[in-house]
């Protein structure tokens, strides 16, 4: 790509204040469509459940949940680090941003290869601990780490230019579609978990190649890998990214902890049921996930320019957007839940757990996801405004609460319902901590009386519906 194209991207000036909200709306809209497209991953799980069995869904969810969690270590917080340092480097010239990418590549490849080797060596012990046939799958999936780390560095550099659509094309559209397309013939041919692991590795490699192809439209690939001006000192990037990586790791553990703990106490089929039900509830996180990348870039610009009042205003407005979007999603999921759940695994679901328990799990998970989504943007706010370590402390408390609650509930025989209840209770505890923090640090009050009314109304309606269904079940 010509130098004029690259410099026009790399030399972009910081947008004016009145452009921030426009960028947020456009970027979030693109991301939201991408998150909807990524729902094909849920279709992938349903197809695998139908054709291969819920035990394969459970073992796949356990294997990939473990690998994807450790992939947070592999990418070393560089997703936010490259954005943060790339924004600052633009002011020093177009080549400085490429030196940031080069430093990130060196760090990311070193860490990701170490993670892959460690997982490969530990796969046998992991399978023995869970007493499930996942060793080969873990060994294969482990080598997704270098591919995905490089892909995320490429996409983070493009994100620093406030261009979100390319991340959507790669991770939200192409990745899930390739996964589904690869899984269909594997499942139809009667293959199992090991072959699905090879498909997952192929998806990671394809995402890396596609991200690199888009990256070349705005940066010089050669300068980003082997900068002629000399390598940039990566210590500043490491210092910023290390607490972000630890925060990402803890968040990854939090999102997978229920499955990782369930797999020790219940059968693979039950893990598959829970994973499918959780996939439905994850729809509650689509809005904050869509806003997060663009919000991170905006916060980085506002924080770099010390525009505190605008930062506070952006956060409050966007948090209210998330709540407004999620309330009808919550109502829709619960209303149609009794129609969706029987479709996920057919008669196998009804044989393993009755529909009423499935609805209770969905209700509890949706409540937790609603609360999680409402405060999801606190993390990028703290990280991009120079307090990434605080997120690490918050997630440590969240992880500890989640683990203790899950362990107590699972060891006392609550099973799937206990895992959902523990995860939801931990969300409310950590969000109470976050609300206090942003109030004292930034003077932010994200919710006012106008937001309390619709939340209370939705909560009362959902509770009434839950009690009514419980009464019907009990009376039937």
**Non-local CB neighbours of 26 within 8 Å, separated by 6+ positions:** none
Q: Please give the backbone phi and psi of residue 160, each rounded to the nearest 5 degrees, phi first.
A: -60, -20
Ordered DSSP codes for 401-423: HHHHHHHHHHHTT-HHHHHHHHH
Sequence ranges of the domains in the chain: 3-468
Residue 103 has pLDDT above 80, yes or no: yes
- Does the pLDDT value for residue 140 go beyond 90? yes
Instruction: Tell me the C-alpha distance between 335 and 323, whole Å.
Output: 18
Can you give the length of the chain in residues?
Answer: 476
Q: Are 339 and 255 in contact (CB under 8 A)?
A: no
What band does 32 get if pLDDT is binned at 50, 70 and 90?
Answer: low
Is the pLDDT score of 214 beyond 90? Answer: yes
Picking from 213, 155, 171, the residue whose alpha carbon sits closest to that of residue 68 is: 171
- The span from the CA of 245 to the CA of 111, in Å, is 11
Residue 78 has pLDDT above 60, yes or no: yes
For 133-144, what is the mean pLDDT?
96
Out of 82-96, 316-330, 424-438, which region has the weakest mean confidence (pLDDT)? 82-96
Do 204 and 148 contact (CB within 8 A), yes or no? yes
Task: Give the pLDDT score at 293.
Answer: 62
Angle at 233 between CA 378 and CA 231, to 5 degrees: 120
Virtual CA dihedral for 268, 274, 276, 279, nearest 10 degrees? -140
Residue 371: per-residue pLDDT: 82
Q: Which residues contact 14 (CB under 8 A, 6 or more apart)?
A: 87, 301, 304, 305
Residue % of the chain over a pLDDT of 70: 70
Residue 40: pLDDT over 60: yes
Mean pLDDT of the chain: 78
- pLDDT higher than threshold 90 for residue 408: yes
Summarize pLDDT for 269-286 with one digit per residue, the tens. 888 888 888 887 887 777
What's the rounded Cα separation, in Å, for the pair 354 and 347? 10
| Closest-CA residue to 38 (of 161, 217, 208, 207) | 207
Distance, CA of 124 to CA of 252 (rounded, Å): 22
pLDDT for res 373: 80
User: For residues 327 and 27, which has the higher predicted lDDT (pLDDT)?
Assistant: 327
Place 125 in a pLDDT band, splitting at 50, 70 and 90: very high
Distance, in Å, from the CA atom of 428 to the CA atom of 446, rounded to the nearest integer, reads 16
Which of 21-35, 125-139, 180-194, 349-363 shows the lowest per-residue confidence on average (mean pLDDT)? 21-35
Banded model confidence at residue 121, pLDDT cuts 50, 70, 90: very high
Average of per-residue pLDDT across 380-385: 69
The tens digit of pLDDT for each residue in 228-247 reads: 666 566 788 888 888 888 88
> What residues contact 215, with CB distance under 8 A and at least 6 apart?
154, 155, 157, 158, 221, 224
Residue 151 has pLDDT above 60, yes or no: yes
Q: Do residues 398 and 376 make contact, with C-beta atoms less than 8 angstroms apart?
A: no
Pairwise CA distance, residues 392 & 129, whole Å: 28
pLDDT for residue 93: 62
Q: Is the pLDDT of residue 127 over 90?
A: yes
Axis-axis angle for helices 40-52, 54-75 (nearest 10): 140
- Tell me how many degrees the CA angle 255-452-438 measures, rounded to the nearest 5: 55
Handedness of CA 378, 380, 383, 384 (dihedral sign): negative
Q: CA-CA distance, 353 to 273, in Å (whole number)?
A: 9
pLDDT at 462: 59
Highest mean pLDDT pick, 15-24, 81-90, 127-136? 127-136
């Amino acid at each position: 790509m010509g130098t004029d194209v690259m410099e026009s991207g790399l030399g972009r000036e910081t947008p004016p204040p009145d452009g921030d909200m426009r960028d947020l709306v456009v970027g979030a809209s693109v991301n939201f469509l991408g998150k909807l497209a990524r729902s094909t991953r849920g279709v992938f799980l349903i197809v695998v459940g139908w054709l291969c069995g819920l035990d394969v869904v459970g073992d796949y969810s356990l294997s990939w949940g473990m690998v994807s969690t450790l992939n947070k270590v592999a990418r070393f917080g560089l997703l936010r680090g490259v954005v943060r340092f790339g924004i600052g480097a633009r002011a020093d010239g177009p080549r400085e941003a490429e030196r940031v990418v080069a430093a990130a590549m060196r760090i990311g490849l070193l860490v990701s290869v170490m993670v892959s080797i460690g997982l490969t060596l530990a796969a046998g012990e992991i399978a023995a601990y869970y007493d499930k046939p996942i060793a080969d799958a873990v060994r294969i999936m482990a080598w997704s780490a270098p591919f995905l780390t490089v892909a995320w560095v490429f996409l983070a550099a493009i994100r620093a230019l406030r261009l979100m659509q390319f991340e959507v094309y790669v991770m939200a559209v192409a990745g899930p579609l390739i996964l589904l397309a690869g899984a269909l013939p594997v499942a139809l041919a009667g293959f199992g978990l090991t072959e699905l692991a090879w498909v997952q590795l192929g998806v990671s490699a394809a995402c890396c190649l596609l991200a690199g192809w888009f990256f070349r439209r705005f940066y010089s690939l050669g300068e980003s890998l082997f900068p002629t001006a000399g390598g940039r000192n990566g210590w500043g990037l490491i210092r910023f990214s290390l607490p972000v990586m630890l925060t990402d790791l803890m968040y990854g553990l939090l999102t997978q902890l229920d499955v990782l703990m369930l797999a020790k106490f219940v059968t693979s089929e039950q893990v598959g049921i829970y994973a499918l039900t959780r996939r439905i509830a994850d729809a509650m996180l689509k809005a904050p996930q869509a806003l997060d990348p663009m919000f991170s870039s905006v916060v980085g610009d506002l924080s770099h320019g010390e525009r505190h009042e605008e930062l506070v205003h952006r956060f409050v407005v966007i948090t209210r957007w998330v709540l407004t979007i999620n309330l009808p999603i919550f109502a829709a999921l619960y209303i149609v839940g009794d129609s969706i759940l029987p479709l996920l695994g057919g008669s196998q679901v009804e044989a393993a757990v009755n529909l009423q328990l499935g609805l209770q799990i969905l209700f509890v998970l949706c409540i937790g996801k609603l609360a999680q989504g409402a405060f999801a943007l606190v993390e990028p706010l703290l990280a991009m405004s120079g307090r990434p370590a605080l997120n690490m402390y918050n997630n440590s408390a969240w992880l500890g609460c989640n683990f203790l609650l899950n362990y107590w509930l699972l060891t006392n025989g609550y099973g799937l319902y206990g895992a959902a209840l523990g995860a939801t209770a931990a969300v409310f505890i950590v969000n109470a901590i976050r609300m206090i923090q942003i109030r004292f640090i930034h003077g932010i009050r994200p919710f006012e009386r106008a937001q309390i009314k619709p939340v209370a109304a939705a909560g009362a309606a959902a509770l009434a519906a839950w009690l009514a269904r419980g009464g019907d079940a009990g009376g039937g």
